A and B are shown apart, each in its own frame.
Chain A
Amino acid sequence: ETGVTQTPRHLVMGMTNKKSLKCEQHLGHNAMYWYKQSAKKPLELMFVYNFKEQTENNSVPSRFSPECPNSSHLFLHLHTLQPEDSALYLCASTETRGGSDTQYFGPGTRLTVL
């Protein structure tokens, strides 16, 4: 399998649920990202991990909790979300060693919070 995969592709959850989004990259990259894409808003960078270390957290509410156990896997743990958190959540990866700056995206998880 190649590229960046995300599961699940669709998720519906209530405000009191706890769920997790999973991202896996098969490209041998060392950096991974979570983005939020809401309707009619620009793409929002949420978290950046480089060599499993979090290097950026763009003032994301604590109800979103990322986890990066290794360079190939990235999770986004969700709890007590709000309806306004409904969006497409995109994972991306890149190889920062050697100066490459192209990000490769997964297909996204469409999240609906009821």
Chain B
Amino acid sequence: GDSVTQMEGPVTLSEEAFLTINCTYTATGYPSLFWYVQYPGEGLQLLLKATKADDKGSNKGFEATYRKETTSFHLEKGSVQVSDSAVYFCALSYNNDMRFGAGTRLTVKP
């Protein structure tokens, strides 16, 4: 079945460092791809999405590009802040069936 694999955490970075969180997927169709973020004590919030190959989703300085050839949707940010500390989930959806990765915890230190 369809699935998502994302890099295990935790990831610890210093403020202003470059962030990459890897995500790859397996799907039989052409899914939409998502990154959700979960701040402490809260639910999941949509961070960005891409619906077709070569689309780039972006929000709050985060970016991810839908790469069909490598079945990837890696999350990047050029300069992280302490306030970016959270758990990040990669997900795919096809025919309203959404599958989530296990989540990657990011801690950014001042």
Contact = CB atoms under 8 A, between A and B. Distances in A.
Interface of A: 4, 6, 31, 42-43, 45, 90, 92, 94, 96, 101-108
* Chain B, interface residues (CB within 8 Å), range: 10 to 19
Given A42-B100, A42-B103, A43-B100, A102 B46 contact: yes
Interface stretch (B20-28, B37-45, B60-68, B73-81): B37-45
A107 B43 contact: yes
Contact of A90 (B32, B44, B102): B44
Nearest to B94: A101
Contacts of B44: 90, 92, 105
6 contacts: A4-B43, A42-B103, A90-B44, A101-B32, A102-B49, A107-B43
Contacts of A101: 32, 93-94, 96, 98
A96 B43 contact: no
Chain A CB within 10 A, most for which of B32, B46, B98, B100: B98
B101 A107 contact: no
